[in-house]
Amino acid sequence: MFAVTGRGPLRDHDPEIELGEGEEYGLKPMNCPGHCLLFKTQKRSYKDLPIRYADFSPLHRNELSGALSGLTRLRRFHQDDGHIFCDQSQLTGEIARTLDFVQLVYRTLDLGDYKLRLGTRPTQFIGTGHDWDTAEGHLTTALEDSGRSYYINRGDGAFYGPKIDIVLTDADGKDHQTATIQLDFQLPKRFGLEFDTPDSAVKQTPVLIHRAVLGSLERFMALLIESYGGKWPFWLNPRQLILLTVGQDQGVRRRAEEMAGQLASPDARPGALALKARAFMVSCDNSDESIGKKIFNARKRGFNLYAVVGERNLKQPPNNQALDISLASHPKEQDVREAIRVFLHSQTLKTGSEVQANHVTSKAVIASLTIQQCQDLLTYLDSRYL
């Protein structure tokens, strides 16, 4: 728990000391104090609430060397740290919105089921019993309203307030706490935070909600890598599409590089807004390996899609190229096959001519598409979080 103090041992006694001299500096363990000071920089009204801050800056914990473990336990990490300052009447709604946010993110990332754990008042705590009963009541109401099952871990709350933890289980059956929602009646009091009520003569202290949806980004990334087992969905994959050249003709290799550039930046057109421009991860394999070996390597390296570029592409006009797009690997291949079927049907309706698709039910989905259609397919898969 933080308390507001002077700027340093010498500064307290001699105001003439230059700022920075005689002060001790430490590595930031959390963002809560900074956000409290940020709240305090302006006069606040009940009309301003809730006020929400988010911070992804690095945090530090002096973990014991024996406790350090890969990406799951670090001394320096990043957290999607958020703080919501609100009135007590807004607590249940804010907690419910955060639970919905967690569900949206975890469902989008396809992380499967997770557990909700309610931590209640520990033996050692600060604040009044009334504050604790009120806080636990708000968390319980939000959990009941969510319709999801949860369990109570008695005495597991932080010493300043109760909390809801979101727990994921890894492949070895070990539980990891990721997201968290914590209620805090104490820190705003210690920092002297207040806001104007409808009665301008009355000031009121806000309640602070500490929330993290992913928790430690490094730990979350470790769980994500393990969950996908190296097969990333298209929208997250750093290896989305690879163009494989046939033969050793330098013209074919140059054409493949040109096409890769077009596919990687489909919105790099005159008049396109840079802030809205899409970019895809497109690579080229111009090695001397056989095409069979290149396809094997593309699947092994975890590319989602591949396309073969050969001499026929040299005979086609640069603005009317055709590519045979194939599915290399994906954690949800059936869903991707179905999505490509839907996309090809939409292209048939759009162009008035049937788009050729072969082996749709086999290991690789193959469709002959123009560069523009390829760009549309990449955008389609990306927008569907596939």
Say how far apart CA 180 and CA 120 lie, in whole Å.
Answer: 14
Percent of the chain, pLDDT > 90? 37
Per-residue confidence at 16, pLDDT binned at 50, 70, 90?
Answer: low
* 35 catalytic per annotation: no
CA 357 vs CA 150, 295, 323, 350: distances in Å: 47, 19, 12, 16
Taking residues 33-46, report their average pLDDT.
Answer: 93
Residue 70 confidence (pLDDT):
84
Asked if 4 and 34 count as a contact pair (C-beta separation under 8 A), the reply is no
Which one of 44, 83, 239, 299 is the catalytic residue?
83
Residue 339 CA to residue 359 CA, distance in Å, equals 15
> Catalytic: 138?
no
49 touches 194 (CB < 8 A)? no
> Is 44 or 62 the better-scoring residue by pLDDT?
44
Give the 3-state DSSP-derived string for the chain, with helices as H, strands as E and coil as C.
CCCCCCCCHHHHHCCCCCCCCCCCCCCCCCCHHHHHHHHCCCCCEHHHCCEEEEECCEEECCCCHHHCECCCECCEEEEEEEEEEECHHHHHHHHHHHHHHHHHHHHHCCCCCCEEEEECCCCCCCCCHHHHHHHHHHHHHHHHHHCCCCEEECCCCECCECEEEEEEECCCCCEEEEEEEEEECCHHHHCCCCEECCCCCCEECCEEEEEEEEEEHHHHHHHHHHHHCCCCCHHHCCCCEEEEECCCCHHHHHHHHHHHHHHHCCCCCCCCCHHHCCCCCEEEECCCCCHHHHHHHHHHCCCCEEEEECHHHHHCCHHHCEEEEEECCCCCHHHHHHHHHHHHHHHHHHHCCCCCEECCCCCCCEEEEEHHHHHHHHHHHHHCCC
What confidence score (pLDDT) does residue 351 get?
61
**Residue tagged active-site, from 117, 121, 210, 239:** 210
Residue of 20 and 102 predicted with greater confidence: 102
- What's the pLDDT tens digit per position in 343-377? 888 877 666 555 555 444 444 556 788 888 888 88
Band of residue 22 on the pLDDT scale cut at 50, 70, 90? low
In the set 11, 52, 60, 61, the catalytic residue is: 61
79 noted as active-site residue: yes
Q: Per-residue pLDDT tens for 103-128?
A: 999 989 888 788 999 999 999 888 88
Residue 180 has pLDDT above 70, yes or no: yes
One of 81, 131, 165, 184 is an active-site residue; which one?
81
What mean pLDDT do residues 166-170 have?
86
Give the mean model confidence (pLDDT) for residues 21-46: 85
Mean pLDDT (whole number) for 39-44? 94
Catalytic residue chosen out of the listed positions 44, 79, 131, 240: 79
This prediction's pTM: 0.81
Can you tell me the distance from the alpha carbon of 84 to that of 209, in angstroms, rounded to the nearest whole number?
5
pLDDT for 267: 59
Pair 40, 193: CB distance under 8 Å: yes
Inform me whether the pLDDT recorded for 36 exceeds 90.
yes
163 is catalytic: yes
Instruction: Indicate whether 226 pLDDT > 90.
Output: no
The Cα 162–Cα 189 span in angstroms is 17
Rg, C-alpha atoms of the chain? 27
Looking at per-residue pLDDT, the higher value among 12 and 41 belongs to 41
pLDDT value, residue 265: 80
pLDDT at residue number 360: 43
What's the pLDDT at 359? 40
Of residues 286 and 6, which shows the higher confidence score? 286
pLDDT reported for residue 361: 41
Is residue 13 over pLDDT 60? Answer: no
Name the average pLDDT for the chain. Answer: 84
Residue 33 preceded by cis peptide, ω within 30: no
For this structure, is 374 an active site residue?
no
Known catalytic residue at 285: no
pLDDT at 95: 93
Report residue 311 as tokens. 């001499």
How far apart (Å, rounded) are the C-alpha atoms in residues 151 and 64? 30
Q: Residue 82 pLDDT more than 90?
A: yes
84 vs 54: CA distance, rounded Å:
9
312 is catalytic: no
Q: Choose the catalytic residue: 117, 138, 163, 219.
A: 163
Region 59-67 average pLDDT: 87
How many other CB atoms sit within 10 Å of the CB of residue 317?
6
What's the pLDDT at 310? 86
